[in-house]
Amino acid sequence: MNTAAAEDLLSKMEDLKLRLSEAEEAIDAIKNGSVDAFAIRKDGKPEVFTLQSLDYAYRVLIEKFSEGALNLTLDGLIIYSNSYFSKLMNVPNEKVTGSYIFDYIAGESHQQFREYFDLALQGSSKTEIMLCAKNKNIPVYVSLTNLQPQLATIGMIVTDLSEKKQNEQLIKIHAETLWKKNVELEHLNKSLDQFASIASHDLQEPLRKIQTFTALLKRQCNKTLAEESNELIDKIKRSSERMSLLINDVLNFSRIVHIENMFVKTDLNQILSNTLKDFDLLILEKDASVRVENLPVVEAIPSQINQLFYNLVGNALKFAKIGKPASITISSRILPSEEAENDFNSRFNLDKQLSYSEISFKDNGIGFEQQFAEQIFSIFERLNNQEQYSGTGIGLALCQKIVQQHHGGIRAEAKENDGAIFYILLPLTQSANVVAN
Amino acid sequence: MKEDILILIVDDDEDDRKLFIESAKEINEGIAFITASDGQEALRRLKDGHNRLPDYIFLDLRMPRVGGRKCLEEIRSDKRLRDIPVFIYTTSTDVKDSIELREMGAVHFITKPIDPGDIYYILSVVLDEKWGQLNKKGV
Amino acid sequence: MKNKSKLEGVGKRKIFLQLYITGMSENSVRAIQNITLLCDQYLHDRVDLEIIDIYKNPSVAEEQMIVFSPSLIRQFPLPKKTFIGDLSDVEKVILGLGVTLKE
C-alpha cells in the first residue's frame, strides 16, 4: 500500500470515527432522555417524530385547566376525557373513556347536539346545551372541532355555565323584585293621590260653609253692625279664602309625585308663551316688559312645566318694585359639562351622560338676601309678611318638586332690593330607564 | 213666571237645601219644594205614581247611598221621568264632571256659589220662562 | 499560559448558532435557559443566536439529515458542530464552540 492510499484510508477512518461518535452520542441522548424529538427526511418530505411524551406538557395543560376536554370518534365515542369533564359528570374517568358522549347530554339537548356535532364534521361549531350528570342538569357551552386530517376525531371543549346561569337568575329575580316594587309604589301613589283628593274635598266643605255664611252674615248685618264688627267678618272671610287656596296648592303639590306621567318632547317656548298669556292683565298692570330668548325642546311633562313657569313668572311679577316698571328676562343656555359638578350644581347629582339646559328667570324686583336662597324652596317658608305679599308659601316648593321630578335642579341668586335670578336645570332628554314605562 | 211650580231638590246637606229654598222663594213665593237627602229617597218619591212629578230637579252629586250620577242615570232611563229637566247642583268644579253629566242628559251643570246671594241670580236665569219652555220640549 | 484556541483569531467575526427546540418540553426549556446563560456569561455580543421550533419548521431536516430537539448547531464558523441535549454540560459546549474562557 502506498502512502497516498494509506493517508486516504486514515482520513476516511477519521471521518467514520467522527460520524460514529456522533451517532453514538445521538443514541446516548435518546437513551438518557435528553432529546424529545427529531426532524428527518422521510420519502423526500421532512417529518417530525416525537420520542417520549413530549406532549406531556400539553397533557398537563389539558388535564389541569378548568374546562372539560374530550376527544371523540366520528361516532361520538369518547377516546379521551380529561379529569375536569369526568368530575363534572360525577363519573370515574375510566368509565367515561369508552362511553358515548350522548350518554351525558340531557334529553332536551340531544337533537341540538347531534346537529352541532354533524356541523363540526365540516370544521367547527359552538353551542350552548344541557348536560345531565346523575339526574342533575348542567348548562354548558361546547366547542367542537374536527381534528382531521391529523386525527380522525372531533375535539370537544366543555365550559361550565352554571355560575353564569346562577348570576343571570339572580339578575332576573332582582329585576322582578324591582318591577314588583315599582308596581307597589305606583299603587301607593295612586292611593295617596286619591287620599289627597278626598281629603282636600272634605277640607273644602266646611270652608265653603264658613265662606257662605260669612257672606250671608255680612249681608244681613251690614247696616246694623258697627264698622269694627264688619271688619271682623271681613277677616274671617279672608282667612277662609286663604285656607281654600292653601288646600288647593297642597293638593297640587301632592299630585306632582305621579310616576305614571310620561315624558314627551316639549317645546318650552310654547309653554312659556301660554303662561305669559295667562298673565296678560297683570303684565299690563305692572307695566312690565318681558323679554324671552329662545328656549330649547326638552323631554318633559308639559302640565308640570306649565305649573313651573306659571309660578316663576307669577313671582317675578308679584315681587316687582312698586313704582318701577318690572323687567323680566327669560333665557337659556346649554350647561357646559364642566359646570355640572361645580359648587352651584353638584348638589343636584346630575347625570354625566345627559345634556342639560339652564333656563334663567331674571327680574328686577325686590329680591332677597342671598343667605335665604335655599330656604325659600322649603314648603311654607316665606320671607315676607302675609299683608305685604299674598301667597301660600308653596309656590317655590312646588317648583322644586317639579324640577326634581324631571331629574334637574333649581337654585336662586339674589340681592336685597336688587332683583333675583332663578336658574332651572332640565335634562334635554330623560335617561332610558325613566322614559320606558 | 208660572205659579205652582214644583221643584225637587236632592242634596244631603241641610244648609244647602235651606239656602236654595230661601233664594228660590225670593224669586217666586209660589214655588213649592220637595226635598230628598239622597238619590235613593229621590227615586222613591219620583217613581211613586201617587205623587205629582216635579217641574225641575236639582241634583247634588256627592251623596250617601245613591249619588247624583246613579240617580240621573235612573231618571234618564225611566220613560215617565226623562222629560223632567235635571240641573246638577254641586260643589264640584271638575270640568270632566260637567262634560260627562251633560252627556248623560243633565240640562246644566251648576257649581254651588260661595256667596248665597248668587243663588238668586242663578235660579232666576234657570227658572226663566223661556228656558223652562225650551226644556219642556225634551232635551 | 492559556490555551489559545485555533479559532480565537477568528473571534472577531460573529458566531452563528441555531438552537432547535420543540417549545413544550422540559428539555427545550432547559436548553434555552442554558444557552442564554452561556451567551450572557461567555459570548456576549459575539454571537448570533436563532431559536427554531422543529414542529413549526420541519424543513430544517432538508439540510441536515436529522435534527434533534433540543440541539445546538454552530453553523459558523465552520466546521459545523452539533451539541445534542439540553446543554447542561456548559464547559463541554464552550470548549466545543472554541471560545476562550474568560478569567
* DSSP state string for A154-203: EEEEEEE-HHHHHHHHHHHHHHHHHHHHHHHHHHHHHHHHHHHHHHHHHH
Q: Any contact of A with B, at least 3 CB pairs below 8 A? A: yes
Higher pLDDT, C2 or A20: A20
Mean of pLDDT values over A83-94: 90
Nearest by CB to residue A39, choosing from C54, C84, C86, is C54
Choice among A14-18, A75-79, A190-194 with the minimum mean pLDDT: A190-194
Establish whether chain B is in contact with chain C, requiring a minimum of 3 CB pairs below 8 angstroms.
no
Q: What chains are in contact with B, requiring at least 3 Cβ pairs below 8 Å?
A: A
Q: What percent of chain B has pLDDT over 90?
A: 40
**Interface probe with C: pick from A18, A19, A34, A50, most Cβ of C within 10 Å:** A34
pLDDT at B74: 93
pLDDT at residue B86 in the model: 93
pLDDT in tens, C56-101: 777 877 777 788 889 999 888 888 888 998 888 888 888 888 776 5
3-state percent helix, strand, coil for chain B, nearest multiple of 5: 45, 15, 40
Q: Does C42 touch chain A (CB under 8 A)?
A: no
User: Using 50, 70 and 90 to split pLDDT, how confident is the model at C4?
Assistant: very low
Contacts of B68 (CB under 8 A, 6+ apart): B10, B39, B59, B60, B61, B62, B88, B90, B101
Residue A84 Cα, gap to closest chain C Cα (Å)? 22
Chain B CA closest to residue A209:
B114
pLDDT of residue A52: 66
Residue A100 forms contact with C (CB below 8 Å)? no
Comparison of pLDDT for A92 and A255, the residue scoring more:
A92
C13 vs C17, C47, C51, C73, C76, CA distance in Å? Answer: 13, 9, 20, 17, 9
Question: What percentage of chain A reaches a pLDDT higher than 90?
Answer: 37
Nearest CA in chain C to A31: C85
> Bridge partners of A291?
A329
| Comparison of pLDDT for A144 and A45, the residue scoring more | A144
Return the pLDDT at B139. 37
Closest CA to A423 of A339, A320, A325, A299: A339
The CA-based dihedral angle spanning residues A184, A253, A356, A436, taken in that order and rounded to the nearest 10 degrees: 30
Can you tell me whether residue B76 is helix, strand or coil?
helix
How far apart are the C-alpha atoms of A265 and C44, rounded to whole Å?
A: 74
B17 min Cα distance to partner chain A (Å): 13
Residue A424, SS3 per DSSP: strand
pLDDT band at A220 (very low <50, low <70, confident <90, very high): confident
Distance from CA of A162 to the nearest CA of C (A): 33
| C36-59 pLDDT tens trace | 888 888 877 788 888 888 877 778
Higher-confidence position of B98 and A383:
B98
Nearest to A47 among C28, C58, C69 (CB): C58
Is the pLDDT at A360 greater than 90, yes or no? yes
Q: What is the mean pLDDT of residues A222-235?
A: 82
- Say yes or no to pLDDT of B137 above 60: no
Distance CA A38, CA C21 (A): 9
- What is the grid cell recorded at A2? 502506498
Q: In this complex, do B114 and A208 lie within 8 Å of one another by their Cβ atoms?
A: yes
List domains and CATH numbers for chain B.
6-130 (3.40.50.2300)
A-chain residues near B62 (CB < 8 A): 201
User: A39 vs C58: CB contact, 8 Å cut-off?
Assistant: yes
Mean pLDDT of chain A: 86
A271-300 mean pLDDT = 91
Amino acid at C32: I
- Is C84's CB within 8 Å of A29's CB? yes
Across residues A421-434, what is the average pLDDT?
85
Residue-wise burial string across C17-34, b where 16 or more C-beta atoms lie within 10 A, e elsewhere: bbbbbbbbbebbebbbeb
Residue A365: the pLDDT is: 92
Q: For the residues A75-103, what does the mean pLDDT come to?
A: 87
In this prediction, residue C45 carries a pLDDT of 78
Domains of chain C and CATH, by start? 13-97 (3.40.30.10)
Q: Determine the longest span between alpha carbons in chain B, in angstroms.
A: 38
Read off the pLDDT of each residue in C6-26 and give the average, rounded to a whole number.
Answer: 69
| Mean pLDDT, residues C13-34 taken together | 82
pLDDT band at A331 (very low <50, low <70, confident <90, very high): very high
Predicted pLDDT of residue A199:
80
Q: Could you tell me if A31 lies within 8 Å of chain C, comparing CB atoms? A: no
With CB atoms and an 8 Å threshold, state whether A208 touches B115: no
Question: In chain B, pLDDT over 70 holds for what percent of residues?
Answer: 90
Q: What is the mean pLDDT of residues A369-386?
A: 79
pLDDT digit string (tens) for A335-351? Answer: 998 888 888 888 888 88
pLDDT digits (tens, 9 = 90+) for B76-111: 999 999 999 999 999 888 888 888 998 999 988 998
| pLDDT tens figures, A119-153 | 999 989 999 999 999 889 999 999 999 988 777 78
Q: In this complex, is the C-beta atom of C68 within 8 Å of any C-beta atom belonging to chain A?
A: yes
Of the pLDDT bands very low, low, confident and very high (cuts 50, 70, 90), residue B56 is very high
Record: contact B114-A211, CB cut-off 8 A: yes
- According to the model, what pLDDT value does residue A217 have? 86
pLDDT band at A437 (very low <50, low <70, confident <90, very high): very low
Domains of chain A: 20-53 (no CATH), 56-160 (3.30.450.20), 164-260 (1.10.287), 261-437 (3.30.565.10)
Provide the shortest C-alpha distance from residue A226 to chain B (in Å): 22
> What pLDDT score does B129 carry?
52
Residue A211 to residue B117, Cβ atoms within 8 A = no
pLDDT of A251 strictly over 90: no
Most confidently predicted of A50-54, C31-35, C54-58: C31-35
* A208·B15 Cβ contact <8 A: no
Choose the mutation target among A197, A208, A210, A212 for the interface with B, i.e. most B CBs under 10 Å.
A212
Closest CA relative to residue A138, chosen from A68, A33, A188, A241: A68
Q: What angle do CA A385, A387, A391 make, to 5 degrees?
A: 70
Specify the higher pLDDT residue, C54 or A310: A310
Q: What's the rounded Cα separation, in Å, for the pair B46 and A286?
A: 56
Sort out which chain A residues have CB atoms less than 8 A from C65's CB and list them: 40-41
Q: Is the pLDDT of residue B70 over 60?
A: yes
Residue A216 with chain B: CB contacts under 8 Å: 19, 116
Q: Which residue has the higher pLDDT, B122 or C62?
A: B122
Minimal CA separation from A262 to chain B, in Å = 21
Whether the CB of A41 is below 8 Å from some CB of chain C: the reply is yes
Q: Which secondary-structure segment (H or E) carries B83?
A: none
Q: Residue A72: which pLDDT band, with cuts at 50, 70 and 90? A: confident
Give the pLDDT confidence score for residue A385 in this predicted structure: 65
Nearest chain C residue to A47 by CA distance is C58
A188-197, A295-304, A318-327: segment of lowest average pLDDT: A188-197
Average pLDDT over every residue of A270-274: 92
Chain B residue numbers touching A201 (CB-CB < 8 A): 62, 91
